[in-house]
Amino acid sequence: MDIVLEICDYYLFDKVYADVFPKDGAVHEFLKPAIQSFSQIDFPSLPNLDSFDTNSTLISSNNFNISNVNPATIPSYLFSKIASYQDKSEIYGLAPKFFPATDFINTSFLARSNIFRETLSLFIITTIFGWLLYFIVAYLSYVFVFDKKIFNHPRYLKNQMSLEIKRATTAIPVMVLLTIPFFLLELNGYSFLYLDINECTGGYKAILWQIPKFILFTDCGIYFLHRWLHWPSVYKVLHKPHHKWIVCTPFASHAFHPVDGFFQSLPYHLYPLLFPLHKVLYLFLFTFVNFWTVMIHDGSYWSNDPVVNGTACHTVHHLYFNYNYGQFTTLWDRLGNSYRRPDDSLFVKDAKAEEEKKIWKEQTRKMEEIRGEVEGKVDDREYVEQ
């Protein structure tokens, strides 16, 4: 995110923060007492490990000797361990990396590296980008790909698209807010994101391998998180809002409870904290994931591939609840005995109206049996066809 943030700081935010939060301006003067009080708090410093009494706090393997540890040294030890994972050269805002310094870079009391400024900037950037990506991709899918005959499906809801859009547009800012801590970790050097392509970083070959590694890691993580979200107690509170849509339009893609969306995004944010990932590829994959999320909700069935968890597989998940939890592949569903092959009827092109009604009627019958087991007898959805 440092690339995106520096672009925005260079072209827009440096001047905005200088105008709104200038040094010695009214806001700065008002906040000075709080800033001074905050700066006087005696936080534990990041100590040198060599300064510890190794007999009382550490053993030779750099692990705690719990039986002898002095509790007073635990916070300092934890701070030092956290600091050992930080790449200080990757801390954002200490010096410009991609663009020259602007005339406004030092005229705001909120410097580029200020955590409050980073949080506010990230929230604005990611929310706007999330909305734009959602509306552009979903709209294009709706116009050029989506099969609008689905509006006649007996389990299509009244005003469904407007409900999907309302749910998504209100959820995206909250999901962004929940994921900002991961972006802050990246901006402060606590990730394995990198930019230079050379022998030390593995060159272009390493970047090519990062794509399948990212897909496989996140596919596994999302499978288990998604399956957990279907535990009855969790489903009722968090995941049921997304299953309000029995048959989907592209605008259902981000129509989550925001905490549900946050949990399902965790593998994407954890990957660069655990494994090397090129910064530009990271931005590409971030965009691809959102594109894929729209695509698997667009109701267009091009392939019944046994490996790829595409639109047909995800349609089965929305129709029959307890199947096809994976995001990209069917691997974990097959291993976890939750794979359900999409019915051949989904791939019938240009079916006559009477045939389509029979297919939908059978889908509805099967769906209601499973829905009753998952949600109980009462169904609070309001369908077009009652």
Task: Give 342-386 pLDDT, tens digit per residue.
Answer: 988 888 777 777 888 898 999 999 999 999 999 988 899 999 876
Beta-carbon count within 10 A of 203 CB: 11
CA atoms within 13 A on the CB side of 332: 19
pLDDT band of 43, cuts 50, 70, 90: very low
pLDDT at 41: 53
pLDDT attached to residue 62: 40
Greater confidence, 192 or 37? Answer: 192
pLDDT tens-digit profile of 229-238?
A: 999 999 999 9
Q: Which two tokens stand for residue 163?
A: 């409900």
Per-residue confidence (pLDDT) for residue 69, from 0 to 100 = 47
Alpha helices in 40-187 (DSSP H): 74-83, 115-144, 160-187
For the chain, the 3-state helix, strand and coil shares in percent, each to the nearest 5, are 60, 5, 35
**Is the pLDDT score of 26 beyond 90?**
no
- Predicted structure pTM score: 0.85
Mean pLDDT value of segment 190-212:
93
Long-range contacts of 203-212 (CB under 8 A, 24+ apart): 206/276, 207/278, 207/281, 210/275, 210/276, 210/277, 210/278, 210/281, 211/281, 211/285
State the pairing for strand pair 277-278/193-194: parallel
First to last CA, the chain: 48
Q: Residue range 86-112: average pLDDT? A: 90
Residue 338 C-beta-side C-alpha neighbours within 13 Å: 23
Q: Tell me: the pLDDT tens digits for 60-74?
A: 334 434 444 455 566
Q: Where are the domains of the chain?
A: 2-110, 118-375
Q: How far apart are CA 112 and CA 193, in angstroms?
A: 20
